[in-house]
Structure 1
Amino acid sequence: MSVINQMLRDLEQRKQPEQATEQPKFEAPAPSPWRGRLVLVAIVVLAAGCWWWFTSPSLSKDSRAPQQVQSEPVEQQTREAQLFSALAEAEQPNQAKASPHSKPLANVTAATVDDGADNAGAAPEQFDVAATSKPEVGSASLPAGSAEDQTPEPQVAAVETAKPAKQPNAPVAPPTVADKPSISKPKQTAPVAKSATTKAPAKATISHSAVSEQQLVQLQLNEARAFAANGRQGDAEATYRKLLKRDPKLVTARMELVALLTQQRQEGRALKAVDDGLRYLPTNAQLITLKAQLLLSLGRAEDAWNVLQVVNESQVQETGFFVIKAGLASQRNEFDVAYRNYSILAVREPSQGRWWLGKAISAEQTGQLADAVEGYRRALTSAGLSAGSMRYAQHRLDLLGTQSHGQD
């Protein structure tokens, strides 16, 4: 045990110097000497600046003190300037009569001399008048002629009053006598032409004018047509009916409404719309023709023929009326009526071969062979016939020609 204890002691003794060398030593840093030196230099510089500020001769109290300049009021200067100018104008007409030793009104200096003994030692007050730009009165040192040649511009003179310090026992200066002043007359400038005043353009005004009944009808018609063109059949029909409710005698609106209903395969409603118009216009050829067409489309040829009998042919201008009536008359074997209506159509449209063919057939049926031959010939030379119609016309023409030669 003693040996072990001895070994342990030796180990502890060896560890102590190693721990002493391994542990760091903490020492307080030494204060820097530069901080104190900088503070000392700043204090010295500040003290030197204060000493220079208070002891410098250039910065005296008089120079540092604000200068106060007493200026006379502007109104007083203006009044004195007006007074001097008024006196100068008043003295101008009397310059010729004035003595050569008289004092000039526009002179720069003026003295007041007191004859009393009490004011013998006092210096007179002098008023200096300094012109701002050009003097209004000619200078005393210049001759009168040179002063008149000048054209000074009228300026407002500023009056300054200076009171010199009184000097005791100073001799009184006699008043200065200047030459005769001469006031130059300003040249008359040419009158400035007034610029032509241009009047500002008048503001545009919008006047609201009442829309006439015809214009309103046209607007609604255009609206209904636009609806129909865009496929809005319901809106178009409603607009037409609104327009007809306002004025039931509008034939154009009623016919367009009938055409719109016919396109929709609503012939019954279209026929009712025509009948509503005929209640207000019973002899209107357009409505009668339209009703006859609707009745024919419905297979009611007899009713269509009866409708056409209401109107006299001489009072009708509608081509469709004569076409329907001539065709129905041919179907009914009423060739006199057919011949009459085809003749009217041939006169109105002579280039149409079908009218000449209908006239020729009607004339042949009524025994008018000469008119029939002429009708067949005109039909063959006109346009609009089919091949079968042309063959029939040529056949009838050949047959009638043979019959006419046999009779001869």
Structure 2
Amino acid sequence: MQRITILGATGSIGASTLDVLARHPQQYSVYALTAHGRVEELADACRRFRPARAVVGSADAAARLAQLLAADGLPTQVEHGEQALCDVASSREVDTVMAAIVGAAGLAPTLAAARAGKKVLLANKEALVMSGQLFMDAVREHKATLLPIDSEHNAIFQSLPQHYARDPQAAGVAKILLTASGGPFLNRAVETLGAVTPEEACKHPNWVMGRKISVDSATMMNKGLEVIEAHWLFGAPADRIEVVIHPQSVIHSMVSYVDGSVLAQLGNPDMRTPIAHALAFPERIDSGVPQLDLTDMAALQFYKPDFARFPCLALAFDALRAGGTAPALLNAANEVAVQSFLDREIGFRDIDRVIAGALDAVPHGPAPSIEAVLEQDARAREAARAQVSTLRG
């Protein structure tokens, strides 16, 4: 039986993971669940899955959670803080870690899981965006197993030949094709995007996601971060990664081969599919997702992305080509910009302006250590907040 820690158990990925686990109680058990501040939701999950440990973000949240669990007579040990997250990710009691904490906060525990040689199901793309070389080095050095959870990267993983990881040069791969839905504003007039509200930006046409990642999808920064993630996961340079807009979100991504073949992974847009694939790999288990009926598909459409409509995607490609800490700067500035938009401090079209301004203000450099990356992350956030202040007034 696999024992699993879920980092970010109350988010959309965490909830989907728990749904899959509940379908296979004889194969999986939950060792630890974590959440930042959604105490009541985490308490509900603890009642259902009875983990040995639960971690929250603060002492106050821990006290509240402990009170709720004690009232139900649950023996779950309640902890808080970053070190506790790292502990439940690296514990000897754990086989598999679902890394689903959104943003830079997920970096340390995800890296701890890799250094402990765990099977890491990677839904936190920032671990690779911020510290790609360091993270991949840790995976190799400590013989961790890394399986992608993003539907696009999971699709690529499924579409690659088995020997790709051993010898990419001999695999005959010409290009990686990342599909993107285009988000809620694919067909909206560009000149009206300045009036977009947070509520509109969070209404994704195909996927149910958290607010931050929904805004990233609307700006296509999410796809830009996935481009950087694909570079590290599959060893592909920027000129061999292509983004293709596919509004139906049925084809989750593709691999183009030198002989002209293109292999794709298809399925209904439901994150339980890649989660179930990674949990059971190399076997298959039921995910709860309905089978795809191709006869229901009226048409499948594909477009090239418009960088004038989606400048964040262009910024991400630029950061990948720049290398070093540039992707970490990009990610940090984006987190500040998106939160400022959600807080109604800036407009939707100000997001890319804040990011570009922060990248201009903070020179990128090498990324020899996590400490260096986090230092650059902090500088980019400060520069992004300065950009927000300038735009506000």
Greater per-residue strand proportion? 2
TM-score normalised by structure 2 residue count: 0.21
- Give the alignment's TM-score, normalised by structure 1: 0.21
Whose helix fraction is larger, Structure 1's or Structure 2's? Answer: 1
Instruction: Indicate the structure (1 or 2) with the bigger Cα radius of gyration.
Output: 1
Larger RCO (CA within 8 A; separation ≥ 6): 2
